[in-house]
């Protein structure tokens, strides 16, 4: 066969492979934290690396390193874009000190890997955290990887963009002993989303009675159960369970993924939620990007609150009044479901958090806080958000917060039981047969072209 014919056949087969791959879709998985460990107590050093870092739009990532090396071992933290060569392409830090290190770094869109196999990275644990989230007593990571705490009580726009996607959160103040800085705290107690043109809510029982058996899932106001293979939504997108008890994953039509990991706080008779987002595009809300000359995300009109005030009172007013009120939902914009006689104003407490302790919220009694050492032990398996976990366990006196962090962490490395485009696993055998059929047709076309070419050569 001449080279031109071989080229044509190869191109035809490649095209058919591309077509076939669309008939056999792959699950998309999100990861908020990518981790790597290096243990040099054995020879050669034992290395474990979790999934790559996938950045969809330029954002600041947060890195942490627990460096266990000595003076003769490398103390750098590098990323690479080439996992095969495992090169030192990007230096997050070139001066790690023994123990805990952290910082931020802006990454362009692309796929990155932690270069832990290189000698320049000594023994220890390395983590890169990205994508927005709201965890524990809300510690928020924004769209560009910045972090701040937001303890106001009410319902807020979490994430919104002009493509129609919107996620809203309900935050509820809880009684605790004051935190290390005398702060009172809230929790995420419910979430609502617009998925395509469908409204999805995940809330405690609307009757207001504590129900430890689980949260209620509604689609356009109707109580809904989840199929084991996931549930396609009528206007695009999909819902499915995660491995966490009561865990929910929502796949939006634009490719965004929302992970909801609930935990039951028995002493307070209340559900709290960790929320993690794998966004397909930039957006605004309380997890919107924080610009270079401000300390909070932009307001709905695009303006900012400016530089942080110099005194604690003005910072309190800016965060819990100016900023919080700007992003509160209204009766006309809310996505939540309500019991008769209630509305978004039922859950709005503009005086929470109080500027100074005591931290006494209705319906709860503070539990004794836990020592830092106990909290650190409880949170030992939490990567990326370890400091937030330790804070939550200390202040709440509830080690269950650590378990919720771990469950949320694990849920984001899972593939959904069904595809984000609505095709569930039951279609996979059919898709596989279609792929094989397309490949067979491609081979037959190639053979036919070869035969025609030979016949023309003989006739010539």
57-61, 126-130, 294-298: which range is least confident on average?
57-61
Name the residue among 83, 103, 85 with its Cα closest to residue 93. 103
143-201 per-position pLDDT tens digit: 888 889 999 999 999 999 988 899 999 999 999 887 667 789 999 999 999 999 999 99
What's the predicted TM-score (pTM) here? 0.76
Q: Count the helices and strands in the chain (H runs, E runs).
A: 7, 23
Reported confidence tier of residue 309, pLDDT bands at 50, 70, 90: very high
Reported confidence tier of residue 443, pLDDT bands at 50, 70, 90: low
> Which residues are CB-neighbours of 100 under 8 A, at least 6 positions away?
64, 65, 66
Rounded mean pLDDT of 232-247?
A: 93
Distance CA 79, CA 90 (A): 5
Name the residue among 333, 363, 341 with its Cα closest to residue 206. 341
Please state, for a pLDDT cut of 90, what percent of the chain lies above it. 48
Res 427 pLDDT > 90: no
Region class of 437: left (phi > 0), else alpha (psi between -120 and 50), else beta: alpha
Distance CA 219, CA 314 (A): 41
Please state, for a pLDDT cut of 70, what percent of the chain lies above it. 81
pLDDT of residue 459: 55
Mean pLDDT of the chain: 83
Task: Classify residue 211 as exposed, middle or buried by CB count within 10 Å of its CB (0-12, 13-18, 19+).
Answer: middle
pLDDT of residue 196: 93
Q: What is the DSSP string of 251-307?
A: E-TTS-EEEEEEEEEGGGTEEEEEEEEE-SS--BSTTSPP-TT-SSPPPTTS----S
Res 15 pLDDT > 50: no
Res 31 pLDDT > 60: no
pLDDT of residue 276: 92
Torsion of CA 8, 10, 13, 19, to 10 degrees: -90
Rounded mean pLDDT of 114-137?
A: 89
pLDDT of residue 140: 93
Distance CA 251, CA 359 (A): 37
Rounded mean pLDDT of 341-367?
A: 90
pLDDT of residue 343: 97
The b-or-e profile of 63-80 (16+ CB within 10 A means b, else e) is bbbbbbbeeebbbbbbbb
Name the residue among 309, 284, 307 with its Cα closest to residue 297. 284
Res 422 pLDDT > 70: no
pLDDT of residue 336: 98
Task: Classify residue 57 as exposed, middle or buried by CB count within 10 Å of its CB (0-12, 13-18, 19+).
Answer: middle
Reported confidence tier of residue 327, pLDDT bands at 50, 70, 90: very high
Q: What is the β-pairing status of strands 198-203 and 216-219?
A: antiparallel
Higher pLDDT, 199 or 141: 199
pLDDT of residue 228: 84
| Number of Cβ atoms within 10 Å of the Cβ of 351 | 10
Name the residue among 255, 232, 225 with its Cα closest to residue 165. 255
Res 208 pLDDT > 60: yes
Task: Classify residue 241 as exposed, middle or buried by CB count within 10 Å of its CB (0-12, 13-18, 19+).
Answer: buried
pLDDT of residue 80: 92
Residues pairing with 39 in the sheet: 46
Helix, coil or strand: residue 204 = coil
Res 260 pLDDT > 70: yes
At 411, list the tokens.
């849920």
Q: Are the beta carbons of 170 and 190 closer than 8 angstroms? A: yes
At 50, list the tokens.
């979790």
Res 325 pLDDT > 70: yes
Res 23 pLDDT > 70: no
Res 444 pLDDT > 80: no
Q: Are the beta carbons of 324 and 173 closer than 8 angstroms? A: no
Rounded mean pLDDT of 267-294?
A: 91
pLDDT of residue 448: 59
Distance CA 304, CA 301 (A): 9
Per-residue DSSP letter, 192:
E
């Amino acid at each position: 066969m001449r080279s031109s014919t071989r080229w044509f056949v190869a191109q035809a087969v490649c095209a058919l492979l591309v077509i076939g791959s669309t008939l056999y879709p792959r699950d998309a998985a999100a990861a908020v934290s990518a981790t790597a460990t290096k243990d040099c107590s054995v020879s050669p050093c034992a290395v474990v690396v979790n999934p790559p870092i996938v950045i969809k739009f330029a954002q600041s990532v947060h890195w942490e390193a627990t460096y266990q090396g000595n003076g003769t071992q490398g103390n750098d933290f590098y990323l690479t874009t080439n996992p095969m060569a495992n090169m030192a392409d990007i230096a997050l830090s070139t001066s790690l000190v023994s123990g805990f290190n952290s910082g931020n770094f802006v990454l362009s869109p692309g796929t990155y890997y932690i270069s832990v196999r290189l000698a320049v990275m000594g023994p220890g644990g390395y983590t890169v955290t990205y994508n927005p989230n709201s965890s524990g007593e809300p510690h928020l990571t924004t769209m560009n990887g910045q972090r701040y705490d937001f303890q106001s009580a009410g319902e807020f726009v979490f994430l919104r963009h002009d493509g129609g996607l919107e996620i809203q959160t309900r935050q509820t103040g809880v009684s605790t002993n004051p935190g290390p800085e005398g702060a009172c705290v809230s929790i995420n107690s419910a979430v609502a989303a617009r998925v395509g043109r469908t409204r999805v809510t995940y809330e405690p029982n609307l009757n207001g009675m504590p129900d430890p058996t689980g949260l209620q899932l509604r689609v356009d106001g109707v109580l809904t159960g989840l199929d084991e293979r996931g549930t396609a939504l009528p206007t695009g997108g999909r819902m499915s369970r995660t491995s966490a008890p009561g865990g929910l994953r929502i796949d939006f039509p634009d490719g965004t993924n929302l992970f909801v990991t609930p935990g039951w706080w028995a002493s307070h008779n209340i559900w709290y939620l960790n929320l993690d987002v794998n966004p397909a595009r930039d957006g605004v809300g309380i997890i919107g990007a924080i610009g270079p000359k401000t300390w909070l995300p932009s307001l709905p009109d695009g303006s900012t609150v400016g530089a942080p005030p110099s005194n604690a009172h003005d910072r309190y007013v800016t965060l819990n009044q100016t900023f919080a009120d700007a992003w509160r939902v209204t009766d006309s914009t809310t996505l939540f479901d309500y019991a008769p006689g209630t509305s978004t104003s039922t859950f709005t407490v503009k005086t929470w958090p109080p500027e100074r302790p005591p931290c006494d919220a209705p319906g709860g009694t503070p539990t004794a806080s836990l020592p830092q050492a106990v909290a650190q032990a409880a949170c030992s398996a939490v990567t990326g958000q370890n400091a937030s976990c330790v804070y939550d366990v200390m202040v709440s006196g509830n080690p269950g917060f650590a378990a919720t962090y771990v469950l949320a962490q694990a849920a984001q490395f899972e593939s959904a039981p069904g595809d984000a485009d609505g095709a569930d696993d039951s279609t996979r055998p059919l898709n596989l047969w279609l792929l094989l059929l397309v490949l067979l047709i491609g081979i037959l076309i190639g053979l036919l072209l070869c035969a025609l070419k030979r016949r023309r050569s003989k006739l010539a």
